[in-house]
Structures are given as structure tokens and as C-alpha cells.
Structure 1
């Protein structure tokens, strides 16, 4: 009888520990960046009376809650405890997506109906451009590590970070069009699309879909 070939299920313990450390570092970096991003966006948005910038700042707050949920999960040293915490982390991330979608949708409708003219914000434009560079890198690195580890919560949080990239692009285009052409409607229209994406990602996170595809 031919010898059976052993089947390796998942990463080795050493590889799992290395991936866990990488995710912890990426989550810490995401948390730190989003705290700074939230403070700058909310301050600049208030000074410019920009609902788009304020919404972007609140998105950063949602990002912090999502990353904090993953940080809490991976703070456990024991692998079994981390797995037990994953479902709760996924619920928190899903609710963060839903809260973000609701806010963006309401804010977009309010902007479309006309609730005041925002001023041009150079700080907001610079922040959106910087986030458009930083966020894709953090999202890709965490998604890759999360899939290798088989962690649905890490992957879901990376999608939250990727959504922030889309919002950065929307914010940047909206602020530039408003500053150069006076097109105040461009940002809220795109924001409604982002809101729909957030709802889908929230459903996937709630169901634990898309972990290791």
C-alpha cells in the first residue's frame, strides 16, 4: 500500500505567530493614522463648514472602532481565545460598516438638498490625497496577512480600510471639483455609491464571508 501524503491544515505555529505579530503591527498603524486623520478632518471640516470633510472625519472614528475590535481579538496570546473572539470582532466591524453607510447616506442627501455652502479647504485636499496613498498599502498588507492566517476579522477590517480609500478618492474629487468648478453635487452623488458598498461589506462581515478567497 502506498504511503499516504500528509496534508497540512493551515499555517504552522511559527508562521501563525509571525502573521499574528504582523497583523498587530498593521492594526496599530491603522489606529494611529486614523486618530490623526479624524482630528485633522473634523477640525478642517468644522472650520470650512464642509459636511464632506466632517463625514470623512467620522469615518475615521468608525475605522478606529473597527481596528480596535481586531486589536482586542489579537491581544489574546492563546490561539483558541483569538478564534473565540473573532465572531464578536466581526459583529463590531459589521455594525461599523452599517453606521458609516447610514451617516454617509444621510449626509449625502442633506448635501444634495442644499444645507449651506462649504468653503474651500486646502488642508482637506492634502489629507484626502495622503490617505489615498497610505490606506491602500495598509489594506493590502492586512488583507494578505489575514487571509494567510485564515482570520475573517482581519480581512473584514482590511476591507474597512479599503473603503476609507474609496472615501478618500470621493472626498478628493469632491473638494477639487468644488474648489475649481463649483460643482457641489459631485461629492454627495459618489458618497451614495460608497454607502451602498458599505452596506454590502457590512453584510459580508456579519456573515463572515470573504475570509480566504
Structure 2
């Protein structure tokens, strides 16, 4: 992991860090090792869940012709890439040399996601395809809305105590999934309960907009706290 003592200390409004521990200052070698292992476990858990989430979302979205659900699944796949990039970046002898390449790859992935979702959303809005009801999608979105905030919070707390910008940045990617889960759930429910098929592509466009924002930040390297 990379540890810095600057920006982390100024962003603890959610109450998951305090005092000098917020920057990694004054930590014993033993405590630092514990936090490092903890972060690795959190990253592994995030990757595992997102792999399952991506497979289920894309499969269910394809079956229901739901652009929003497919976009959500593709976003989960990108989150897997983001978490894996953190592990890959710090597995080498020179993490800084790998960081720029990793961020560029993630940025391009987000742009590709946004382009695909935008095109499919426009097609859906013009009546070329209508999303069907998806119980699987509703359940998946609800589960993600419960699970992802917990994973994000515990990793962010550990990252702040350790003073690791990379761990905190990756936790923000996980937090993004929480917001998208909420938006997706609303869209799927509107379609299921009221037959508002247009809610699905509208939600998908929101996902596309968020993907563009995340892609720009990754491309520019604006991934710290």
C-alpha cells in the first residue's frame, strides 16, 4: 500500500477515523500489518461479490432487455477491475510506475460503459426495445444496497487509519455501487409496478453519467480522498 499523511486527515466527517491514526502516524509495525491484511481481505470480498453481481445482473438484464440492469452489471465488472488494479499495483516493486497505467485502463473502461449504455438507452426510449419485469434484478439491487455500504465503510476506515490513499479511493468505487443500486432499484420497481418502461433507460442514462464522471477522474488521476 502507499501511505501519505496529508489529505486523509481532512475527510473524516463520516466518523470512521480520528486523531493521528487517521493519517497512519504513530502506528506500530504490528498494527500496520494488521490493517494491511484487513484491507486485502476487504478488497478480496469486494471482488468476489462484484463478480457474482456482474454475472447475475448481465444475465438477468439480457433476459429482461433491461439496459439499466446490464449497465449495472458492467459497472460491477469495472469495480472488479478497480479492486484488482489496487492489488496488482502494489504487488510490484515500483507501485508508482504502475499507477498511471492502471488509472488509464479504468478510465477507458468507464468511457466504454457510458457509450454502450447511452446508445442502448436512446434505442429503448425511442421504443426499439422495452424492458421487462425482473424479480432477479430487484432482489440483486436490494442486496447490493445493503451489502456494498458495509464493505465500503470498513475498508475506508482501515484505509484512513493506515493512511492509504489507494485503499480509500477503492472504497469510494464501492460506495458508488451503493448509489447506483438505489437508482437501479427505483427504476426496476417503477417498471414492475406501473409498467413505466422508460424508467429503465432513464436510470441507465444516470449510470452512464456517473460512469463518465468516474472515468474522467480516473483518467486525470483524481482518485485520492
TM-score normalised over the length of structure 1:
0.80
Q: Does 1:191 align with 2:204?
A: yes
Number of residues of Structure 1 aligned to a counterpart in Structure 2: 203
How far the C-alpha of 1:181 sits from its partner, in A, is: 0.4
Gaps of 5+ in 1: 1-6
Q: Does 1:117 align with 2:133?
A: no
Kindly tell me: are residues 174 and 156 of structure 1, through their superposed partners in 2, closer, same or farther at Cα, counting changes over 3 Å? Answer: same
**117, 128, 137: which is aligned to 1:104?**
117
Kindly tell me: are residues 209 and 178 of structure 1, through their superposed partners in 2, closer, same or farther at Cα, counting changes over 3 Å? Answer: same
* Bigger relative contact order (CA 8 A; separation at least 6): 2
Q: Does 1:49 align with 2:65?
A: yes
TM-score normalised over the length of structure 2:
0.77
Please list the CA deviations of residues 162-187 of structure 1 after superposition, one character each: whole Å capped at 9, or x if unmatched: 22222211221111111110112223
Considering only aligned residues, what root-mean-square deviation do their CA atoms show, in Å? 2.7
Match of 2:37 in 1: 21
Gaps of 5+ in 2: 1-19
- Which is further off, 135-144 or 200-209? 200-209
Q: Is the 8 A contact 2:72 2:207 kept in 1?
A: no
- Which is further off, 59-68 or 152-161? 152-161
Deviating 4+ runs (over 6 angstroms): none
Q: Does 1:157 align with 2:173?
A: no
Q: Is the 8 A contact 2:124 2:130 kept in 1?
A: no
Kindly tell me: are residues 192 and 22 of structure 1, through their superposed partners in 2, closer, same or farther at Cα, counting changes over 3 Å? Answer: same
Kindly tell me: are residues 105 and 149 of structure 1, through their superposed partners in 2, closer, same or farther at Cα, counting changes over 3 Å? Answer: farther
SS at the partner of 1:89? helix
- Which is further off, 80-89 or 109-118? 80-89
Q: Is the 8 A contact 1:44 1:53 kept in 2?
A: yes
Match of 1:72 in 2: 88
Larger radius of gyration: 1
Kindly tell me: are residues 143 and 108 of structure 1, through their superposed partners in 2, closer, same or farther at Cα, counting changes over 3 Å? Answer: farther
